[in-house]
Amino acid sequence: MAGLPSSGGIPPSADRAQPAYGAHLLAYAGIPSFMRRPATRELAGADVAIVGVPYDGGATSYRSGARLGPRQIRAASTLLWGYNAALGVAPLEVLRLIDYGDVAVQPGDTAQTMGAIAQESGVLLAAGLSVVALGGDHSITLPLLRAHAARYGPLAVLHLDAHADTWAGPPDHSTTFRHAIEEGLIAPASYVLVGMRGPLWAAEDAIAPRELGALVWGADECLTLGIPAVVASLREHLAGRPLYVSLDLDAADPAYAPGVGTPEIGGLTSHQLLQLVRGLRGLRLIGADVVELCPPYDHGDITAVLAANLVFELLSLLALQLKGQQP
Amino acid sequence: MAGLPSSGGIPPSADRAQPAYGAHLLAYAGIPSFMRRPATRELAGADVAIVGVPYDGGATSYRSGARLGPRQIRAASTLLWGYNAALGVAPLEVLRLIDYGDVAVQPGDTAQTMGAIAQESGVLLAAGLSVVALGGDHSITLPLLRAHAARYGPLAVLHLDAHADTWAGPPDHSTTFRHAIEEGLIAPASYVLVGMRGPLWAAEDAIAPRELGALVWGADECLTLGIPAVVASLREHLAGRPLYVSLDLDAADPAYAPGVGTPEIGGLTSHQLLQLVRGLRGLRLIGADVVELCPPYDHGDITAVLAANLVFELLSLLALQLKGQQP
Amino acid sequence: MAGLPSSGGIPPSADRAQPAYGAHLLAYAGIPSFMRRPATRELAGADVAIVGVPYDGGATSYRSGARLGPRQIRAASTLLWGYNAALGVAPLEVLRLIDYGDVAVQPGDTAQTMGAIAQESGVLLAAGLSVVALGGDHSITLPLLRAHAARYGPLAVLHLDAHADTWAGPPDHSTTFRHAIEEGLIAPASYVLVGMRGPLWAAEDAIAPRELGALVWGADECLTLGIPAVVASLREHLAGRPLYVSLDLDAADPAYAPGVGTPEIGGLTSHQLLQLVRGLRGLRLIGADVVELCPPYDHGDITAVLAANLVFELLSLLALQLKGQQP
Amino acid sequence: MAGLPSSGGIPPSADRAQPAYGAHLLAYAGIPSFMRRPATRELAGADVAIVGVPYDGGATSYRSGARLGPRQIRAASTLLWGYNAALGVAPLEVLRLIDYGDVAVQPGDTAQTMGAIAQESGVLLAAGLSVVALGGDHSITLPLLRAHAARYGPLAVLHLDAHADTWAGPPDHSTTFRHAIEEGLIAPASYVLVGMRGPLWAAEDAIAPRELGALVWGADECLTLGIPAVVASLREHLAGRPLYVSLDLDAADPAYAPGVGTPEIGGLTSHQLLQLVRGLRGLRLIGADVVELCPPYDHGDITAVLAANLVFELLSLLALQLKGQQP
Amino acid sequence: MAGLPSSGGIPPSADRAQPAYGAHLLAYAGIPSFMRRPATRELAGADVAIVGVPYDGGATSYRSGARLGPRQIRAASTLLWGYNAALGVAPLEVLRLIDYGDVAVQPGDTAQTMGAIAQESGVLLAAGLSVVALGGDHSITLPLLRAHAARYGPLAVLHLDAHADTWAGPPDHSTTFRHAIEEGLIAPASYVLVGMRGPLWAAEDAIAPRELGALVWGADECLTLGIPAVVASLREHLAGRPLYVSLDLDAADPAYAPGVGTPEIGGLTSHQLLQLVRGLRGLRLIGADVVELCPPYDHGDITAVLAANLVFELLSLLALQLKGQQP
Amino acid sequence: MAGLPSSGGIPPSADRAQPAYGAHLLAYAGIPSFMRRPATRELAGADVAIVGVPYDGGATSYRSGARLGPRQIRAASTLLWGYNAALGVAPLEVLRLIDYGDVAVQPGDTAQTMGAIAQESGVLLAAGLSVVALGGDHSITLPLLRAHAARYGPLAVLHLDAHADTWAGPPDHSTTFRHAIEEGLIAPASYVLVGMRGPLWAAEDAIAPRELGALVWGADECLTLGIPAVVASLREHLAGRPLYVSLDLDAADPAYAPGVGTPEIGGLTSHQLLQLVRGLRGLRLIGADVVELCPPYDHGDITAVLAANLVFELLSLLALQLKGQQP
């Protein structure tokens, strides 16, 4: 019998404080921790932590508002049932998942915020947990990569995004992946960027990610060739290394993800994003983030629902992996 | 000459009371009965009735608000012109269509409401009319199936939905099709479910519809194989029996249908829904419902416009059928 | 016992076609004619007609969209119960009210539209009905005044509005009252403008209405002195003549009426508008319009609800009058 | 030094699980329990519990959606700082407040839901806590009154509302106070209704609350005479008995509270509601609810912010009382 | 180094008045002329002019509001960077682009407005500029075609639209292309209509465009066969003549373009529109319009972002052409 | 004859580049510089500059989004006609007003942004212009005060706000006025704070502004005593010194200003804000800002319309002053 949304392994005493207590089977009831998991900083016995990073000070290009992203993804997560039929796993029956709450961001101070993110996620990783972070803008990924590379060594990275975020400049939401490569956080020839499109600052920007060693699948190629071809290619490219997935919701078309900071037309559908994430099955996923949800523009909460579901797919992958490791 | 939006067969005296009287060719003018048809309970001479069921008390999973669905579908229907070029028919030139108004639902009392739906639709069927019902949440389909099966015997049912609605439990929006099968309203091996997807309560839920005898086309299969293959399959499965179509708007992706009670990503496009409904041409359609429009979340009314158009396609099928029966 | 929403005097045969038939006591159910009254053009036996004028081509200053006003006021009217406790009357028990539907406006042709409004309202007046018109932009008032003056002679007019609409120029939404005065539709010294405020085109505009003979109560005076003083003044000014009330919803502050074409800050509250309309009790009201509802900007439908209630108050005044005339 | 948002007396171990942990001073960060208080069912040592009742099946008149009310009030509560300068108290420094989560409502089953509300609030009261409930529609108040009367005996009740909710009929959102009076939950001559207005079903409805013994201050009187006079009157009326406050947000005008199920124009301002609630200082407040927040219509969340602030004022009153009892 | 968004050839003195002056690299800063180009009527030295036509009086079928379209497209254009990687060109480095501002439309007077459009665009064409017009409703295209045909002779026209706009009747938004053909503005066998779909007034409407000589690619064919086939066909059809592109945003599905006047389901995706426009490369583009953006229904501005990007693609085509002509 | 919206003194050559050129009298047409004034950095001959400061990185407490404030105030300003009847002046006939565009803010870097604001406004002041700044969050006021104090010496300051913004800490949106006082930018006993209310961090916060020397009129006092009393008091307090007005839009109640970063209930009405600003007539106004407009939450743009009108009133005051100085 499906144990959801019970505690799935976290000790009863922690579950006692579950914010969803009462009316616990109704999607609209209760206090919205992620999938109603215990909101706790007791790490003992936990496998994975959901970590919010409510920061939108990373020089967001257009609209601000991503600070409210973690709260809204959590609210949408209450819609999620527990069994992933496509991947054949009920992640919360396998994973002991906690909702860590939010990192102590410092509004208006990107440097200090990055420090806090790296420090707090480092503590979680050191305690043996995996981290799935909820943004916030894309500047939050750099310290997450730093913490993960510190623990796992150079990473393979799958980056889903309309924008390359490989400009040169101080760390912010547009320079994340250049810094990550230059700091050696990403292993050579282990970086794949999927979904890039739209007007660029200059012709150089089209080449920059490739010059940095990325395998780039533009959105136009994805839509023309189909996702299975893309998946086959990226699996080959990313196999064998610890894999971090950074998922900027603007990889989706604005029809599917209106609530993002910098919408670009010609993007992926929600089904294509599902295909991409599910296509990672069997790779060694070690961490992930879902970023750039901008709730004030997210009519009918459809982007938040998309984000929550993509987190659910990532958790399913982590569960499959954990299951695979079990004797 | 196109007779729209004239009365198309309903006697002039009934037309005299047409709510749209005055300014009658402008989509935004007049009182919005469905496609400006007479709002009447005079059944004599009519072929098809649009019937609203403004009920959202059937234990809707997440968002309430579907009670305002019938009103909003009617408003969007004023955008519909009369000729269906894809199917080659002007339904209102063939069908004598009335807008029956709304069933006497009892808010907060699902049992009594179901009785009223069955009773009122039974009267319409007994008078020789076909019924196209506008929901309301999906709990309204069970009494509609009861009334139709009472008249036509066990039915073939095409169920378009993200969710199977085959849980066990008392009649509500999540148990409709289990009850329908267990009550014998649906003929054996005559039930097709298209569009299922999303997190499930438990692994059993993935199997349940099939155990109940359903042919299931998940959304992922639909999107991967294409609708023509699905249509060929379901035509074979559903042929020969009186066919009832129950269309939950969450079969569509939230991008195409944000205004639903329980949005699920990875769904169908509006074009795919058109392909599915038009693919029923030649089958023996005897009734239908379009449910789960949740207007408060339907920005720009795009879900209401989708719903109204799908009703138009269903009416076109009924018209083709009536035409085919004519000497 | 309160007869609402029964037909109140309209013969049963007309009531048979009542759009709200079925589920008739629920505010959200049924086809929204005004207060669920019969939608009919049978005038015999009726006292008052609600007449929609879905026209926004009268050179609206800023936002267009008022064409959807009549439909939205009708939808909001389903929220209205029948007894007006403030005025001590149940208007639909006294008045035989019909919903005439909409005038045959001609989009993009103000002259022809004005002709249609004058002609159709003239027919209604000739049949002995009173007219309460639902706009549409303020250009619709001129032909309404023409029809009323043709029947009643020079009128007293109470004009509630943020803007004077007394510019010189061809008939449109900004010149209505200058034309009305120059054409002799308004009796000398029988015109009161309440609610004027906001930046003007030029200093002359502040004087223009007064030069045309208006008694002007600016919004600032209303808010400073209080409505009772305004009511006392306008009663004195308007007494003795047949009174037409033209109510532009932008008389209300944008907080109370966001859904208007030309919002002006510093306006009246909904309670103050109620005080003003109720303050007309005992004057000889012969017709009215409520205009400039612009639904696309009317979040939460609060302006539509305001409009529907103000129509209800106007109907209550008409009912009191009819009652007073009865032996 | 202000201890907010620390635990204010709840043992540190409970605080450890505080959903807001991390980023804890930022209004937009963290998991939104009410004012970031521990979400727990450990009652020992607590003084007051916030209790959500996410139920909108009580035959709501017009719009459904109040089920999402508790979640949205909690989210808005993160905007609240801790010191109430008007009342001179920091409630969380005085009260040990917990967020109990939501009652186990049963969608579509009002009777069972009412049982659950009465039972769960009874447990809280028995443990010595005060309850402030967050609705949900107004049907939730009857079982709350039952639980409070069971503990405190017949109550004094202050009811802020546009509607009397004194119809005869089975328990739902429109009959609450008739049942409460007839069941003896409210002491004779101890019921005050403030804010009543709008069209009524019938003339009898205007009299019904008074016939049931209510002191009625209509909205029109409140707005004309001013709140200080109302406060003086109701204090006199309600003094001496344990006082329960039931606050339907539609007491406010739709300009101030667009997000309600049944908006009525001519209502109170937010400042007037503050005056009313603060005017209760010194009376013996023993419990309260804030109901009818309907988030899908609450643009810019202004009604949720109003609701959260009114809860804060009620908590401040409870804190003053507790302080007064301390030696 | 990419020169964007510098003046790209327009003399510095004109650039001095650039509305975006200050904060010039931030998408949300500055005064939104199109892509921050100089807002000027100095035509000397300019190649292309963006011209707004804020007119929605052309008998729009359903929703009005397109008058605010030009302003909103300009605002969204500030999101556009300068390099088009798909077409390999930075249009503003090649083209000297100005923002001409808006044509002197006359609200409520279609005939005079059409005269102004033809006259003002004629002046621009005579000065050697190309025009890309921003609507406004589709009635604005007829005078634009007149001005272009006056300069270039009979045109090839690519018309992207859900609706044929080939009704008979006086010039308005539904008759544009019949007039254009009958006036000889379009060369025989040089008119392609892509995207047509939805209910039609009558069977004749399905044939009318073809009878007028159009090559019609319905939306259903586009979605079934894929855009590359459509592109191949229309290139063959349109080659060799000066090409005018008229792009009604309702060619896109409402999921991608909710903010249009007359939404039709079953439409194109944003990627398909990109494929279509980019597929014109090498044809002799001489002018274009993008019409029917209806901002009040455009939640999250996604339709405006689509429109701005499509203008960017059209500018890129013009730039490639100009480059090709350079020695 | 009123010269609006002509150039009012700016030389014709500058006017030539007016972004609104074409369709210039229609509120919805043209490129929205503030009131269609020339967007220019030519300062010669100008009296007043509108200066946008699109910055929301100043540690905004709750919602971000104020960066889009200047653009939205400019758009709303196109609704403003030229004559202020309440103050008897047409400001643009007296003042030579330019729209300077936006300051070169640096997203995510408050210190650098403050430097840019001080520097650029200093240049404008040095050129003899007055500055009216459009925010942006409230952190922008500190550098504006620095620039003004540098030119005028210690200032009198009228601060309209729900929040005192007098916390201790580094310069951000919550510490502005403490810094201003401690830096000596505000003259002793020359600081008035109007509109303060809402929950405070701690009891000290209620006292802090007074300890810093402020005269504080809380919102409750304003609403209870009426604005005329407040105006009399603040005129006495502020007379004789150069006066700077800093107007945080959250001084208004959320009903009147939903689109702000930190809404507080119990606030002022739009009429009361007009009374306050107009009450400054005769004082020596030397500069002003209007801040905290947060467009994503500003439904129906009512807060933007409020902001634009308040700027218009401030410009009227400046015009009266200039007129008074003329011989």
Structure tokens at D100: 């109990």
B partners (3+ CB pairs within 8 A) are A, C, D, E
pLDDT score of A4: 27
Q: Do A296 and F57 touch (CB under 8 A)?
A: no
Q: From the DSSP assignment, how many helices (H) and strands (E) are in chain D? A: 11, 8
Q: Tell me the one-letter amino acid at C24.
A: H
- Please, which residues 53-72 of chain E have a Cβ atom closer than 8 Å to chain B? 61-63
Q: Do D108 and B108 touch (CB under 8 A)?
A: yes
Q: Do A23 and D107 touch (CB under 8 A)?
A: no
Q: Rounded to whole angstroms, how far apart are CA atoms D46 and D41?
A: 10
pLDDT at residue F98 is higher than 80: yes
Q: CA of B151, closest CA in chain E: separation in Å?
A: 32
> What average pLDDT is seen over chain A?
90
Phi, psi (deg, nearest 5) at residue D26: -95, 130
What's CA A325's distance to the chain center, in Å?
23
Structure tokens at D32: 């939104």
Task: Give, in words, the CATH class of C12-325.
Answer: alpha beta
Report the complex ipTM.
0.93
**Do A and C have ≥3 inter-chain CB pairs under 8 A?**
no
Under-70 pLDDT residues of chain E? 1-25, 59, 326-327
Q: Which fold has domain E31-325?
A: Arginase; Chain A (3.40.800)
Q: Do D108 and B67 touch (CB under 8 A)?
A: no
pLDDT tier at B59, thresholds 50, 70, 90: low
pLDDT at residue B273 is higher than 80: yes
* Least confidently predicted of A141-145, B54-58, C248-252: B54-58
Rg (CA), chain C: 18
Structure tokens at F26: 């229609």
Q: Rounded to whole angstroms, how far apart are CA atoms A184 and A153?
A: 9
Q: Which fold has domain D12-321?
A: Arginase; Chain A (3.40.800)
Residues of C in contact with E108 (CB under 8 A): 57-59, 108, 110, 172
Residues of B in contact with A79 (CB under 8 A): 61-62, 262-263
Q: Rounded to whole angstroms, how far apart are CA atoms D159 and D289?
A: 10
pLDDT score of C119: 97
> Counting one residue from E and one from F, how many pairs have CB atoms under 8 Å apart?
139
A172 has a chain F CB within 8 A of its CB: yes
* Least confidently predicted of D207-211, D294-298, F132-136, F153-157: D207-211
- Across chain D, the runs of DSSP E, i.e. the strands, are 48-53, 97-102, 130-135, 155-160, 186-196, 214-218, 242-248, 284-291
D259 has a chain B CB within 8 A of its CB: no
Q: Rounded to whole angstroms, how far apart are CA atoms D315 and D322?
A: 10
DSSP A169: S
Q: Tell me the one-letter amino acid at B208.
A: A
- Report the largest interatomic distance among the alpha carbons of chain D, rounded to a whole angstrom: 58
Section F23-41 average pLDDT:
84
pLDDT score of B303: 98
- Across chain E, the runs of DSSP E, i.e. the strands, are 48-53, 97-102, 130-135, 155-160, 186-196, 214-218, 243-248, 285-291
Residues of A in contact with F60 (CB under 8 A): 107
pLDDT score of C12: 33
Which helix (H) or strand (E) segment is B135 a member of?
strand B130-135
Q: CA of C164, closest CA in chain E: separation in Å?
A: 20
pLDDT score of D7: 29
- Residue A22 CB neighbours (<10 A): 24
Q: Pick from A55, A63, A64 the residue to mutate for testing the F interface (most F CBs within 10 Å).
A: A64
pLDDT score of E65: 94
pLDDT 10s digits, C73-102: 999 999 998 899 999 999 999 999 999 999
pLDDT score of C24: 55
Structure tokens at B2: 């196109």
Are the beta carbons of F81 and F163 closer than 8 angstroms?
Answer: no
More confident residue, D164 or D246: D246
pLDDT 10s digits, D166-206: 888 888 777 889 999 999 999 989 999 999 999 998 888 88
D23 has a chain F CB within 8 A of its CB: no
C44 has a chain B CB within 8 A of its CB: no
pLDDT at residue C131 is higher than 50: yes
% chain D with pLDDT above 70: 91
> What average pLDDT is seen over chain B?
90
Q: Do C105 and B29 touch (CB under 8 A)?
A: yes
Q: Rounded to whole angstroms, how far apart are CA atoms A32 and A17?
A: 13
- Across chain C, the runs of DSSP E, i.e. the strands, are 48-53, 97-102, 130-135, 155-160, 186-196, 215-218, 242-248, 284-291
Q: Pick from D217, D249, D265 the residue to mutate for testing the C interface (most C CBs within 10 Å).
A: D265
Cβ partners under 8 Å of residue F263, min gap 6: D79, D300, D301, D302, D305, F250, F254, F257
Which helix (H) or strand (E) segment is B245 a member of?
strand B243-248
pLDDT at residue B115 is higher than 60: yes
pLDDT score of D277: 98
DSSP F170: S
pLDDT at residue B14 is higher than 70: no
DSSP E146: H
Q: CA of F124, closest CA in chain A: separation in Å?
A: 27
pLDDT 10s digits, D64-97: 999 999 999 999 999 998 899 999 999 999 999 9
Are the beta carbons of C117 and C144 closer than 8 angstroms?
Answer: yes
pLDDT at residue C19 is higher than 60: no
pLDDT at residue C157 is higher than 60: yes
Backbone region of residue D30 per phi and psi (left: phi > 0; alpha: psi in -120 to 50; beta: other values) = left
pLDDT tier at B175, thresholds 50, 70, 90: confident
Are the beta carbons of A271 and A310 closer than 8 angstroms?
Answer: no
Section C250-258 average pLDDT:
98
pLDDT score of D191: 97
pLDDT tier at B146, thresholds 50, 70, 90: very high
pLDDT score of F118: 98
pLDDT at residue C274 is higher than 70: yes
> Residue C227, exposed/middle/buried by CB under 10 A (0-12, 13-18, 19+)?
buried
* Least confidently predicted of B296-305, C204-213, C306-315, F295-304: C204-213
The chain E residue lying nearest C295, using CA atoms, is E296
From F56, F67, F108, residue closest to A172, measured CB to CB: F108
More confident residue, B168 or C253: C253
> Residue B151, exposed/middle/buried by CB under 10 A (0-12, 13-18, 19+)?
middle
Assigned CATH for A45-325 = 3.40.800.10
Are the beta carbons of B196 and B164 closer than 8 angstroms?
Answer: yes
pLDDT score of F12: 33
Under-70 pLDDT residues of chain A? 1-25, 59, 326-327
pLDDT score of E295: 97
Phi, psi (deg, nearest 5) at residue B85: -70, -35
Q: Rounded to whole angstroms, how far apart are CA atoms E62 and E205?
A: 19
Cβ partners under 8 Å of residue B108, min gap 6: B57, D57, D58, D59, D108, D110, D172
pLDDT at residue B166 is higher than 90: no
Q: Name the one residue in this structure whose structure tokens are 């008694």.
A: C215
pTM for this entry: 0.95
Q: Rounded to whole angstroms, how far apart are CA atoms E45 and E129?
A: 9
More confident residue, B176 or C127: C127
% chain C with pLDDT above 70: 91
C partners (3+ CB pairs within 8 A) are B, D, E, F
Q: Rounded to whole angstroms, how far apart are CA atoms B37 and C214?
A: 46
Residues of E in contact with F32 (CB under 8 A): 31-32, 71
Are the beta carbons of B80 and B108 closer than 8 angstroms?
Answer: no
Are the beta carbons of C105 and C119 closer than 8 angstroms?
Answer: no
C70, C138, F75 from C143: Cα distances, Å: 17, 11, 34
Q: Per residue in E137-169, is it b (16+ CB within 10 Å) or e — as a string?
A: bbbbbbbbbbbbbebbebbbbbbbbbbbbbbee
